[in-house]
Amino acid sequence: MRALLSVSDKTNLLDFARTLYYYNVELIASGGTARFLRQAGLPVTSVEQLTGLPEMLDGRVKTLHPMIFAGILARDTADDRADLARMNAQMIDLVVVNLYPFQKTVAQRFVTLRDAIEHIDIGGVALLRAAAKNFERVAVVCDPADYGLILNDLARHGSVSLETREVLALKAFAHTAAYDAAIRDYLMGLRSVDTPVVTLTLHKVQDLRYGENPHQQAAFFRLNGNGLGEPLGGQLLQGKPLSYNNLLDLDAAWRAVHRFEQPAVVVVKHLSPCAVACADELHRACAAALAADPVSAFGGVIAANQTIDAATVEAMGDLFIECIIAPDFAQDAQAHLAKRKNCRLLKATWTPNAMTYEYRSILGGMLRQTIDQGDPGDAAWRVVTQAQPSEADMRALRFAWKVCQYVHSNAVVLARAEADVLTTVGIGGGQPNRVDSVRLAIARAGERAKGAVLASDAFFPFPDGVEEAAKAGVRAIVQPGGAQRDAEVIAAADRAGLAMIFTGVRHFRH
């Protein structure tokens, strides 16, 4: 049995090679791998000795030679054996290759294009594909974690089983596909170009207990090798593993809380914000958010855009909270939270603006869109009513408009500005008509609707939503405008003495 080894990651390589030698496997190696094994006292045939040619082009060409690839691709047939004999070549039965670390290279802050290109592996990819193609005879290993599979088979059978070869071939093809996708993504990012074929490479990180319901299976996959091993690029500091539903809610809360520059807290329940608040101090924002809708907040998740301190934990009181996500947790805050039963803490440093696209599956395909990062830069707000919003109203309207972006359509948000605290007082969304969302937001706000402002993610198709808001005491409204009945809607606002702003921008969220 003959093995070709050419690796950049030498983790556990020496023990693996020694065991192969113990099982009478002849070792062939290229460049640095050969030197590494020889220094350890192992007999190694170099690729140069096998091919009769030295490395070329500063190492760009080492293994790309018929003696190597014929040995790998040869089938166990009389014709193929005769071809090998004519060129004085021998079969290679095991290929152990891992590739230049392209993903790690381009992840460096000041990497140059030249450095990136030099870390695009050519020969290694070709070796993996050749060995994987010929899995009926050849075993291929691209991950040091799989050395044990080879050694176990050798110990039990004296050879590598077909089942193991099939599994490792699939892994090798997946590995080269992900590698090519990483190169494409990097080069596309340099020129901001798109292609009609998109490869989404998903790396399985962990199985989840179940999906939305216990009878559904679920798992978390990392997208395109982005280096974020844990969900949301976070670190679970305490509590049980995150569930499928936890991850959905945490993602929604984390995206929303990053829309605010002030200290902010977002409470999410069943994938939609139920309360949001901003203040000059995080603990005051937390207290305001939880007071906005304490019933819905029970059993929800909380996101903060600043480090959770002890005062913020105190503001949470004894409310049952499933999960808390924040950039960090102060030591005393974490010590207090450790006493809470079943409260998960996720420290996350990855921000949503690091992503360009989001994807959703439908039957038979995928939908892709750029992420809604708020109003485009050329968006112009204009007052369309006789009444003008006050400065406090404008602060509350801008706050409510940001919140509205993360509520499921039809989305309606009631908010107030009191001193330095901005808070939602009623949220309605996910309804098949807009007037029901208005009524739902008003019902949740109760008396706090008087003097509040209202944001709507899309235009009011009829005056009824404005009329309901006016009856509840709403002072001002912000909405995109653009309906056929805009004139009637504006007239209804004027009759009620409401201020109304058109943004010209819609923020649907389905």
Q: What is the DSSP annotation of 466-485? A: HHHHHHTT--EEEE----TT
The verdict on whether omega for the bond into residue 152 sits within 30 degrees of 0, i.e. cis, is no
d(CA 297, CA 291): 9
Q: Are strands 323-326 and 344-348 parallel, antiparallel or unpaired?
A: parallel
What are the E-state strand segments in 33-174? 45-46, 94-97, 139-141
d(CA 49, CA 51): 6
Does 341 qualify as catalytic in the annotation? no
End-to-end CA distance of the chain: 58
Does 270 qualify as catalytic in the annotation? yes
Q: Which residues on adjacent β-strands are paired with residue 212?
A: none
> Which amino acid, 471?
K
Asked if 453 and 441 touch (Cβ cutoff 8 Å), the reply is no
Q: Which of 133, 203, 258, 336 is catalytic?
A: 133
Contacts of 454 (CB under 8 A, 6+ apart): 400, 412, 413, 414, 415, 438, 441, 469, 474, 476, 477, 478
Q: Which of 10, 203, 258, 270 is catalytic?
A: 270
Asked if 468 and 438 touch (Cβ cutoff 8 Å), the reply is yes
SS3 61: strand
Nearest-5° angle of CA 351, CA 306, CA 261?
70
Q: Return the active site residues.
A: 133, 270
